[in-house]
Amino acid sequence: MRNLQQRFSLEGKSVLVTGATGYLGRAMVYGLAELGARVLVNGRHCSRVETFVAELREAQLIAEPAVFDINDERAVREWFDQFGDTPLHGLVNNAYSGGAGSIETASDTDYRNSYEVSLVSANRLLREALPNLRLAINECGGASVVNIGSMYGMVSPDQRLYENKNASNPPFYGAVKAALLQWTRYAACEFGIEGIRVNAISPGPFPSNTVQSSNADFVTTLASKVPLGRIGQAEEIQGPLSFLISDASSFVNGSNLVVDGGWTCW
């Protein structure tokens, strides 16, 4: 039997991360790569992906570009066709796109776009990745899918934190993240019997560096809502994600690991 250190290691594992060039996505990629994973860095913009991959390689980490639009069914299928008969040990559905708003201000398109990027794409990627995930099972006994949810898929935003309705965390964001958590449970039940584990992580307040530097008052207000008394830093998502991707979590399936400093405990 392998010891705990060996079970936490990601050496020899290939992991595809969507939304990999964003604030939390970058931290996720670095964390996985630092534990030895070969990270497939997904994004739509070739220059951003290539620049990030070069940065990772400069740090002596293993990374490869995976440039395709997760909302384009044909592009996703073509990428997996090119990936070929290669085991895929992990899939991280992290991509999201959408602005602020409220029920009063949100358009129908806002809801549709949020749903397509977060939920439909997660289903598409898992479906297309199944042959490669099954190859990973044949190779080492398991594969792991992690969906990035949100605390706002569990509780509603306090709209008093925001300047106005146009700046509020939007209803379509929380609604699709709640749907993603339910889809996670469904997928865990459908594929668990094969050895494909499907779990979720629900981050709490992780404002980007831009927000931290440009809106200090808002960040202070956010921190006051957290039992730990501070916001999350990007690197604090690395441990929970790496745990769920690794064999150290081999009996964890259908769970939602909340990383919110206690926000949802109040």
pLDDT digits 0-9 by tens, 49-89 = 999 999 999 999 999 999 999 999 999 999 999 999 999 99
The model's pLDDT over 208-248, given as tens digits with 9 standing for 90+, comes to: 999 999 999 999 999 999 999 999 999 999 999 999 999 99
Give me the pLDDT at residue 158, please. 92
Looking at residues 144-152, what average pLDDT do you find? 98
Confidence category of residue 201, pLDDT binned at 50, 70, 90: very high
Inform me whether the pLDDT recorded for 257 exceeds 80: yes
pLDDT of residue 80: 98
Q: Report the side by side order of strands in the sheet with 143-148.
A: 63-67, 38-43, 14-17, 90-93, 143-148, 196-203, 256-259
Q: Report yes or no: 41 and 64 within 8 Å, Cβ to Cβ.
A: yes
Helical pair 46-58 and 23-34, crossing angle rounded to 10 deg: 40
Phi and psi torsions of 227, nearest 5°: -55, -30
Average pLDDT, the chain: 97
pLDDT grade, residue 29 (50/70/90)? very high
Percent of the chain with pLDDT over 70: 100
Residue 153 has pLDDT above 80, yes or no: yes
Does the structure show a pLDDT above 80 at 14? Answer: yes
Please state the CATH superfamily assignment of the domain spanning residues 4-259 in this structure: NAD(P)-binding Rossmann-like Domain (3.40.50.720)
Indicate the pTM of the whole model: 0.97
Residue by residue, what is the 3-state secondary structure of 41-93?
EEECCHHHHHHHHHHHHHCCCCEEEEECCCCCHHHHHHHHHHHCCCCCCEEEE
Tell me the average pLDDT across 157-163.
91
Give the pLDDT of residue 1: 74
Each residue's pLDDT tens digit, 80-132: 999 999 999 999 999 998 999 999 999 999 999 999 999 999 999 999 999 99
